[in-house]
Chain A
Amino acid sequence: GAGVSQSPRYKVAKRGQDVALRCDPISGHVSLFWYQQALGQGPEFLTYFQNEAQLDKSGLPSDRFFAERPEGSVSTLKIQRTQQEDSAVYLCASSLWQGEQYFGPGTRLTVT
């Protein structure tokens, strides 16, 4: 079956623009995670959903970052007024409850 998919794969934004990144999890996976991976670093946790409930958003770096999963399936990570330090690869992962996390290919965001 299909794995986790993310779109777009690449995004270039001018500083100050808003962006929206999409994640399609594996069907039936209740848990969905967003991570941010800066160049040369490991993935860092941003936020986590169980179905449509956002249970942990402790990793969101500022109030410019917002995530939603309104129907408990597809999720969108939105970044408002992008800054250069937002440039990174954004990874989405999904899992069964407390199961193995399956990662998507990531969206590479470049803010110019």
Chain B
Amino acid sequence: AQRVTQPEKLLSVFKGAPVELKCNYSYSGSPELFWYVQYSRQRLQLLLRHISRESIKGFTADLNKGETSFHLKKPFAQEEDSAMYYCALRTKGGSEKLVFGKGTKLTVNP
């Protein structure tokens, strides 16, 4: 079975500091990994996906198959980055469903 683990429920940093939100997954096949974000009073939205290898709002994430991780990083956090972040996995060639982690609430303090 697939599983996504986000070990930190809460993460607090100061503006301008680097931030890393951890995500580990468990899946024996070849997964697709995603980061979703939910800002206050907004709906869940896609932040980035590993296959696109792009940087969105200064965030990047690299899929490390050896460590089964997909950590989200940003070198200089901004106050507007405060939100809930969910890591999610989708299996290739199977059901299109997403398997989510429990989420990390990021707070960027001024």
Contacts and interface: CB of A to CB of B under 8 A. Distances in A.
Interface residues of B, number: 18
B49 to A, nearest CB: 8
Interface in B76-110: 86, 88, 95-103
Contacts, number: 50
Nearest to A38: B102
Interface stretch (B14-22, B38-46, B61-69): B38-46
Interface residues of A, number: 27
Contact of A98 (B96, B100, B103): B96
Contact of A101 (B6, B46, B95, B99): B46
Contacts of B100: 35, 42-44
A103 B53 CA distance: 22
A59 to B, nearest CB: 7
Across the A-B interface, give the 6 residue pairs with the lowest CB-CB distance, nearest first. Answer: A42-B100, A103-B44, A45-B97, A56-B95, A42-B102, A43-B100
B97 A33 contact: yes
B46 A45 contact: no
Interface in B13-64: 43-46, 49
B101 A42 contact: yes
